[in-house]
A and B are shown apart, each in its own frame.
Chain A
Amino acid sequence: MDRHTSVARTPVSSVVVQRRSKSHRLSYRSNVGTMSHLGYTPGFSKRRLTTSRLAPKHSRITEVNPEQLALLVREWQLSYVTPLYRFRHGQLKSYSRQLAAFMVSEQQQGVAAEVGLESALKVSFTLVAGMAQTEEEANTVFIQIHSKPPFSAPDDPQKLLWSGWLTSVGGNPDYLRSLPEDFVCLPLFCSGGTEGLTALVKAWFQQTFDCCFGPLEINSVNLQWLAALWTDCHARSSIKQLKLVWSLPAEPPLEVTYTVHPQDAWELWRSIRQPGERGGEEEEDGSVGLEEVACFIKGLKSHFYRHFRVELSAGRLTQVSTALGSAKHGGRLKISNSSYMITTLTLLTECALLKMPI
């Protein structure tokens, strides 16, 4: 026991000096703390599904900036991205050049190209302001790839080949804070364009920022959340219709498209929401609970059962769409109304963060 007691007397400073790399893991654990996602040891603190979230609010930003509008136009394929290492928002110009050169050289395998030279592709990285919800959160980055036809005049319209964006909206601040400074967490990656180009862009990001991409599917629970949250907006912005698609494990597979009149859906939702106090509209900070969502979907299902004798619970919700947006199980998303974009993206950011390996 002698050696241990002698260690106890060693001054702290010398202990620090002695520290070897092996203890890295320990120090890492301890730095991170117990409350974060990274956990005391990863996996120790269970990341649970959110059981309650804020009801969607009309976005505070009244005028939508053009960059945000660009996020609305098309349907996006979702992926998650692990934190980017040494991504600097100040170097977007240089990234544009590098990505363009990378794309060119990848497309013509085995032919070298000079970086920064005029090429047939034009890549632009732009910042999208007003998406981050907290100070810890990094700004959204929007990427576009245009092609320049070889013999075009300088002012000819360029053809948009691919676009995509990396974002984080309302991500868990504890998780974001727990990352060292060198990492930028933009966990949600939305891409629109051919698969080949998407793969190239991903490859470039992987090589440049040492990150990893994986597909982000939206599971039924989250689709139910979206259905409920969008329905909640109906009073302020018409959802036109609530369309839900279920796939049932029958032989042959059965797909059920269930379209609900917006007013009916709204009535059902309102009856579930706070049945006691039918107070003013102002009580907007009220949160929506998971039970309410489950109750809402259950109501819709039982209605369907009453008419068609088909138990939708046996199947899987694969798609939800309203006038505000649509989401598919496979991870395809379209946002049609910028006002409620933040709510949707917050949910998806959370899904992406759940996929983080540590």
Chain B
Amino acid sequence: MAATLIPPDFDSSSSTDSSSSNRGITRSLRVAEIARRKTKAEDPIVAALKYFSKVQAGTPVQGNEELERNLVSVETVAYSKGLSPEAISVMLEFAMSLRMGTSPCARVLKFLLPSTVVPHQAVVRAVVWLCVGKLPITTQVLFIKWVLTVFDMIDAKDNLRAIYGFIFSFVTEENLCPYICHLLYLLTRKECVRLFRVRKLLELQSKLGKQPFLLHLLSLYKVFCPELVTLSLNSRIRAGFKNHHGPWKLALNAIQKRNFVQVSSDLPLALQTKEKAGLRKRKLGQMDLPVLNVVVQSQKQTSYNKMVVPLAHIQSFVQLLENLHLIELPAQMGSLLGSGLALHYLDCVQDESAFLRLNFWLGHALNEEFLFCGHGGASQGSDEVVRFLERLLSTQHFLQEGFSSVEAFLYKFLNVWDGSLLRPQILGLLSNIPVVPSSCINRLLSEPLMQLFFTSTVFFKCGLIESLNGMLAKWLTWHSVYALEDGLDVSLDSPTSMHMSRSGFMQSVVELVRFVGRLASLGLQLEGCHSLLLSFVLDFYDTVCDIFQKYGLPLVVMIPAGVFYPALFAFDPVSVDRLAQIMYRYKMNLTSAKKQEKLTGQAFHISRQTYREFNHYLVFMVNCLWNSKIFQPGDDIELSEELLLRSRVPQYWASFNLIHHPAFHCYAIDFHHKCWPERRDVDLNSIQNSKTWGWYLEYLFTQGFDGLQQFIQSSISFHPSTTDSQDHRP
């Protein structure tokens, strides 16, 4: 073997070259070096390897200078660059065959540092030498340690698995046992687990007592064949095998760093998070995730189930993809929540029972933690609960789907919730509730939420509006995706279908939007038009106004007066700007709906009333901001003439136009200063004339009021000559 030896480092003799230059070597250089190598055939390492492969058994060691020279030359190469696969083969063969006795053997093993990979044939041959049984025990241990250290660098492990039985036979050697167990642990596959091996290990266990290495191997056996062996480990032992890397690890790291060889170390992707171990166990452990375990099969089924890959064995996403059709769900579905890989699988799983199992577990955990705990929930708001809910939320987020058991739990919990316990998490779960039939929204959501809303702080109100906004957005997204895929609206024709019909869905949406409209109107009143709350409310209407264009649902629900007017008369320009933006989007939606109606001749469910409401708002808004005609008879806001006169506000009809509106007042003053810096007395009315009015608008638009800009440009045909408004009737 190893007839043609290629030394790993042809330029070791030329000391001028630093090793790191290997990387950036050019093609011409390489060609030149190959030529040089041919000429310089008698490289010391080549000679040394030739010597070790040819040396006769029984050659004396004592005083053998040739041996010493060759050993040193290989050793220097090994420590500087590592040995090539061929060199490893030769040296391992030399050492394990004990051709020159035991004394050089340990020395050779210690410098067996691979530069790239370890050929599996070499290892197999070495194991054969091990079986011959002439090696002293310390050398045997050293060899196994070496195999463990370089295990990740062995190029193919299947041949090693083929001699699993031979390796297994060494477990009876008391000194070797810990290392053999570790090696077996790395090699074991399901087919390796046999009853006689289990019995052997158990026998050893009874002889040696609780040894961690035995337990680890046995626990792996249990993972593969739970029907053969049973074992429970407490968390302390779970740490893993001891790192007994011997003398190689540091040198190997150095070599790898020097060679820039990224040896692919099979980093085990932790399938389950083991955060539980350090925590003190709670009395009520419902919030603990179960451990990912394999289903225990009864003996009969095993032959059939050999094809199946338990999810617990999957270590990487690639493996998941390769075995997607063979995967077996774990014994406890709850364990899936703890694993990112498992969630990927859950996402594409079709099994109804699987979801039902998960729902039973989840619902049970939530019920026991929040509803059935008679003692008032001693653990309320503890870290563990928070972590559980966060994980639940991220799972739902990942699956883009709420669990039905969580939904059922929330309907019950909302009735007893104080609105502050775990608020962010509960509100998060709330926003994941899937579409609720309109007939049930009132009983299940509106009633409990209304009570909470009106009795809580403004921050809860904001949170709730935000959560409901999320809910609406999810419903609409869900519809826009599944209306196509699942034939959501097919059932319009077939009333027998239990699927929610499109009209049913629309009713639900309308119900939800109206409910939030009521909450928002009253909430703004209660909180004195709190601008934070107003901002969240306007967020909600950002979603609402775009239902038709963004989500393809032929539905337009107008903003209620209780939100429109507070936003229009808000003190901060941002709210007014956002309202203008919303009105602009409403207009876009309504006009495109109208257009489509004409195009397809299909009757829409957008009623005249909606158009009328919109136009009403539009006229008011334009009159108020643009035409300086407020408090007209017939408006929603009507004040008697004499009352207005008594207020002694000059030109009260103009007090909410873009100049005098409290939100824009300061902009008007600023503009005035910029226009007429020399003027002492500020006369805002001078902006009113059509030319400056145009400039003023330009100025406002440069201040970032995009919504206002879109609104004005779309709804008002502005000619500098006549400041007349024209509202489109879509």
Residues on A close to B: CB < 8 A?
1-4, 7-8, 10, 12, 15, 18-31, 33, 39-44, 82-83, 85, 91, 94, 98, 101-102, 104-106, 109-115, 179-180, 182-183, 206-208, 210-212, 214-215, 217, 355-358
Contact = CB atoms under 8 A, between A and B. Distances in A.
B483 interface: yes
Contacts of A44: 437, 440, 444
Nearest to A216: B372
Contacts of A39: 408
13 contacts: A19-B485, A23-B482, A23-B486, A39-B408, A43-B411, A98-B227, A109-B232, A110-B233, A210-B331, A211-B360, A212-B365, A214-B367, A357-B363
A114 B411 contact: no
B493 A8 contact: yes
The 9 closest A-B pairs by CB, nearest first: A357-B363, A42-B408, A30-B498, A212-B364, A112-B231, A43-B411, A112-B218, A43-B408, A101-B230
A30 B499 contact: yes
A292 B227 CA distance: 54
Contacts of B638: none
Given A44-B444, A212-B365, 12 more contacts: A4-B484, A22-B400, A41-B440, A94-B299, A112-B222, A113-B202, A114-B198, A207-B332, A212-B361, A214-B364, A355-B372, A357-B364
A8 to B, nearest CB: 6
A26 B499 contact: yes
B205 A112 contact: yes
B205 A4 contact: no
Interface in B486-511: 486-487, 489-490, 492-493, 497-500, 502
A109 B360 contact: no
B201 A112 contact: yes
Contacts of A179: 356
Interface residues of B, number: 90
B347 A357 contact: no
A149 B644 CA distance: 101
Most buried by B among A101, A111, A183: A111
A350 B92 CA distance: 73
A22 B399 CA distance: 8
Given A10-B487, A12-B487, A113-B202, A206 B332 contact: yes
A291 B557 CA distance: 48
Given A22-B482, A42-B404, A180-B353, A357 B436 contact: no
A136 to B, nearest CB: 17
Contacts of B412: 43
A29 B363 CA distance: 16
Interface stretch (B125-133, B290-298, B686-694, B704-712): B290-298
A85 B227 CA distance: 18
Given A18-B486, A44-B444, A115 B230 contact: yes
B298 A91 contact: yes
B404 A114 contact: no
B93 to A, nearest CB: 38
Contacts of B500: 26
A358 B404 contact: yes
A104 B229 CA distance: 11
A8 B484 CA distance: 9
Contact of A21 (B333, B350, B481): B350
B407 A110 contact: no
Contacts of A4: 483-484, 489, 502, 552
B233 A355 contact: no
B639 interface: no
Contacts of A2: 600
B437 A40 contact: yes
Interface in B385-402: 399-402
Given A1-B602, A19-B485, A20-B485, A207 B293 contact: yes
A96 to B, nearest CB: 12
Given A112-B222, A115-B228, A210 B361 contact: yes
Given A24-B352, A30-B498, A355 B437 contact: no
A284 to B, nearest CB: 36
Interface of B: 195, 198-199, 201-202, 205, 210, 214-215, 218-219, 222, 226-234, 237, 286, 290, 293, 296, 298-299, 331-334, 347-350, 352-353, 355-357, 359-368, 372, 374, 399-402, 404-405, 407-409, 411-412, 434, 436-437, 440, 444, 481-487, 489-490, 492-493, 497-500, 502, 552, 554, 596, 600, 602
Most buried by A among B198, B296, B493: B296
B372 A15 contact: no
A104 B201 CA distance: 17
A105 B402 CA distance: 38
A182 B351 CA distance: 11
B332 A83 contact: no
Most buried by A among B215, B362, B404: B404
Contact of B230 (A3, A91, A110, A113): A113
B147 to A, nearest CB: 25
A208 B331 contact: yes
Given A7-B490, A22-B400, A210 B234 contact: no
B499 A113 contact: no
A62 B347 CA distance: 53
A23 B485 contact: yes
B405 A85 contact: no
B407 A42 contact: yes
A358 B404 CA distance: 8
A24 B404 CA distance: 11
B22 to A, nearest CB: 50
A112 B405 contact: no
A109 B331 contact: no
Given A19-B485, A21-B350, A182-B353, A214 B372 contact: yes
B298 A94 contact: yes
A215 B299 CA distance: 34
B436 A41 contact: yes
Contacts of A183: 353, 356
Nearest to B332: A210
B538 to A, nearest CB: 29
B487 A21 contact: no
Contact of A8 (B348, B355, B490): B490
Most buried by B among A27, A31, A85, A357: A357
B405 A357 contact: yes
A102 B298 CA distance: 15
Given A24-B352, A41-B437, A115-B228, A110 B489 contact: no
Most buried by B among A85, A102, A214: A85
A211 B408 CA distance: 18
Contacts of A41: 404, 407-408, 434, 436-437, 440
B405 A42 contact: yes
A114 B205 contact: no
A285 to B, nearest CB: 35
Given A19-B486, A214-B364, A358-B405, A98 B296 contact: yes
A15 B228 contact: no
B388 to A, nearest CB: 14
A172 to B, nearest CB: 16
Most buried by B among A18, A114, A179, A212: A212
A101 B218 CA distance: 14
B64 to A, nearest CB: 51
Contacts of B483: 4, 7
Contacts of B198: 114
Contacts of B356: 28, 179-180, 183, 358
Given A7-B487, A207-B293, A358 B360 contact: yes
B404 A109 contact: no
A180 B404 contact: no
A15 B490 contact: yes
B202 to A, nearest CB: 6
B360 A82 contact: yes
B401 A25 contact: yes
A214 B202 CA distance: 36
Contact of B215 (A8, A102, A110, A358): A110
